[in-house]
Amino acid sequence: MLSLIYVSVASQALTTAEVEALAERAAKANAAREVTGMLAFNSRSFMQLLEGDGDAVLDTMRRIEADPRHHSITYIRQQQREARECPDWSMRSMITPLTGAGSATVFTKSLPSQMELDTKILFTSFASSLTVEQAADYAAREQDVMHGKREAGND
Ligand SMILES: Cc1cc2nc3c(=O)[nH]c(=O)nc-3n(C[C@H](O)[C@H](O)[C@H](O)COP(=O)(O)O)c2cc1C
């Protein structure tokens, strides 16, 4: 079984709803190919874990690479594994950033029990990797979208 993790940069500001919709669509396509994994978004960048049959994962990756919603895709881990780390997730989205006290612990605990500790650390540090100012910016933008002050994604 092939398991890979990449990071990429969002091409434009995306709202929580847009990322969730993207992951929902991805989950449907992945379920048909028995690909599983998770997608974290920290308001600027993505980190995604994909796992499954080698051809299925590489085929999925080719389509992801061609998606204009992100760029600068960088592979950070690729390995053959016996077992899946996210066996129950066709594609779970995790929207962060984490800034509040204790939020990293809550995030880590929400990851699958099958996930290796090093993978949990990778995702948790990615999810926490925003300055407080950037996180506040993001929260303000989400609030505006919720209150209808701005159209989703129109930033
Ligand atoms: C960050 C990111 C992650 C994605 N993850 C997946 C994925 O796990 N599986 C998938 O099929 N598509 C994924 N996509 C979407 C594909 O890039 C592409 O939009 C989709 O496969 C096209 O489907 P369509 O040809 O049916 O429109 C992702 C896109 C982005 C930007």
In single-letter form, the type of residue at position 111 comes to L
Atom 3 of ligand 1, residue of closest alpha carbon: 64
State the closest ligand 1 atom to the C-alpha of 29, by its place in the atom list counted from 1: 11
Is residue 45 scored above 80 in pLDDT? yes
Q: 123 lies in which domain range?
A: 2-146
In a domain, 141, yes or no: yes
In a domain, 26, yes or no: yes
CATH code of the domain containing 122 = 3.30.70.100
Which tens digits make up the pLDDT trace of 98-113? 767 788 888 999 999 9
Atom 1 of ligand 1, residue of closest alpha carbon: 46
CA of 103 relative to ligand 1 center, distance in Å: 28
In a domain, 152, yes or no: no
**CA trace torsion 84, 39, 18, 105 (10° rounding):** 110
* Side-chain half-sphere CA neighbours of 80 within 13 A: 2
Cα-to-chain-centroid distance, residue 107: 13
What is the total residue count of the chain?
155
Number of domains comprising the chain: 1
User: Which of the 8 DSSP states describes residue 150?
Assistant: S
Atom 6 of ligand 1, residue of closest alpha carbon: 26
pTM score of the predicted model:
0.86
